[in-house]
Amino acid sequence: MELDALYRDYMEDPSGGGEQLALNLELWLVRYFAARHELARAQELARHTNASIWRRLPEFQPEDDAAFGRWVTNIARIEGLRASRRRTTMRALEFDAQGFDVARGGEQPRSQPQRAASSRAEESSDFELM
């Protein structure tokens, strides 16, 4: 993996190789996440993961010449799984909120535009009563 060679260059001269490593790491992370998410989400995940990697880098102890690439891949995989879990949780919460509306009012779940139209209709009927 090219990142391993860039990491070795960075370790030999931290002042000179860091910029090249940072640029290639960011590009690698965007490609990694873009294969699994839409581009905007991939870029967001890449930025977050890149910051996490640089924060953890002083603790990294390579076992061999290919260890950096594996380490980065594992961090990216874990961050991707966490992001998917958060999205699943948010979707479940949205679904529960819709289910609560159904249980409370006895009506079918409505889409956001339907809820907005209903809210406007209720506001206009309240205005007519005044």
Indicate whether 93 pLDDT > 90: no
Structural domain harbouring 12: 2-129
- Per-residue pLDDT at 39 exceeds 90: yes
Distance of CA 103 to the CA centre of its chain: 33
Other C-beta atoms closer than 10 Å to the C-beta of 83 total 18
**Alpha-carbon distances, residue 56 vs 53, 69, 79, 82 (angstroms):** 5, 14, 14, 17
Among 32-46, 50-64, 79-93, the range scoring the smallest mean pLDDT is 79-93
Please count the structural domains in the chain. 1
Structure tokens at 31: 């490609």
pLDDT of 30 > 90? The answer is: yes
**pLDDT mean over 108-118:** 67
pLDDT at 33: 95
Question: What three-state secondary structure class fits 38?
Answer: coil
Res 75 pLDDT > 50: yes
Q: At 129, is the pLDDT very low, low, confident or very high (cuts 50, 70, 90)?
A: very low
95 pLDDT tier (thresholds 50, 70, 90) = low
CA distance 41 to 31: 12
Residue 88 to residues 42, 77, 99, Cα–Cα distance (Å): 17, 16, 16
Could you tell me if 96 and 102 are in contact, meaning their C-beta atoms sit under 8 angstroms apart? Answer: no
Which one-letter amino acid corresponds to residue 128?
E
Average pLDDT score over residue span 61-82: 93
- For residue 85, the model assigns a pLDDT of 78
